[in-house]
Structure formats: structure tokens, C-alpha cells
Amino acid sequence: MELIEIMRHRRSIRKYADEAVPEEKLEKILQAGLLAPTSMGKRPWEFYVVKDKDTLERLSRAKVHGAALLAGCDTAIAVFADSDLSDAWIEDSSIALAYMDLMASSQGLGSCWVQMRMRKDADGGDAEQNVREIMGVGDPYRLVGVLALGIPAEEKAGYSLDELKWEKVHR
């Protein structure tokens, strides 16, 4: 499929079947993350793959809104980055997340980006810090977000090229 078609069909999927993500698909997703460009080629990121149900459940409570889906996914990838190694760690992590998200979609998997940086938990605590504690990852590693992955249990229509917001383009 052409890249534009993969992009058109990529949607955030938040409901997953109780089925494992095939290992070869996970491998491709991780390859996509590792292929992502980084500022000055520093590759500050570290990808933590989570399959343990109890850990996924704890991650789902790390943030008050928009993280519950993590309890129902099969696999999550937490993207940490060494913030001392690169001042572009947010950009680098975001690109890797987006690449992996797109690859997941191209593999027929459901995926959803779960933002943790700058977000709160139900008690007003810091979501990113919660995830760092759950995963045992401390300074200088920071976290932008977590990618939830699973076999899709919901269908969403792709976007139409006829409905793009061309008013956002200035030329």
C-alpha cells in the first residue's frame, strides 16, 4: 500500500480483542521506531515493551483521562528518552512514537498514543512520574508517551483526501 493510503487509514483504536500481537508485527513496529530520525542522530530514546497485565493495568491508572485503554491492550511501548543526551528529546520521542503508530496501523493492528508528559493522575500527581516509578526508570530519562497496541476490536473509517484542511496550508 502506498504510504499516503496507510496514513489515510491510520486511526486511534482504543478497543482490543483478547488476543496477542504477533511477535513479527511487534518486531516491525520496533524497527520503525529505531529507524526514526533524531536530532544530530543522537537516538536518545529507549523503548520499553510492556506485556505484563498487572503493569498495563497500573499504567492505565497513571493518568486520570485517556489512559484507561492501556488496561485492555495486549502490549504497550513506553518511549523514554535521555534528556541529558539531547535537547530535542521531546521531538525525537514524538517522531518515534508516530512512526511506530503508523507501522502498527499498516500491520492491521490497533494502536493509540497515550500522552503522559504534562498530564495528571486522579489525585493531581504527575502522570509521567507515575510511569517512571511503575517502570523503574529514573533521571535523566523522560517520557513523552506510551503506545498501546492490540488486535483491533473496533473499526474506524479512514480519512478522505477530499476533506483535508487545506486552509492550514499557506503558500
Residue nearer to ligand FMN on the CB measure, 64 or 137? 64
**147's grid cell:** 503506545
- Dist CA 73 CA 166 (whole Å): 35
CB of 144 to ligand FMN, least distance (A): 8
Q: Residue 129 carries which side chain, given as an amino acid letter?
A: Q
CB of 95 to ligand FMN, least distance (A): 11
Measure Cα distances from 26 to 18, 33, 82 in Å: 16, 11, 23
- Dist CA 135 CA 124 (whole Å): 20
List residues binding ligand FMN (CB under 6 A): 11-12, 14, 66, 69, 112-115
Residue nearer to ligand FMN on the CB measure, 12 or 39? 12
Residue nearer to ligand FMN on the CB measure, 30 or 98? 98
CB of 23 to ligand FMN, least distance (A): 25
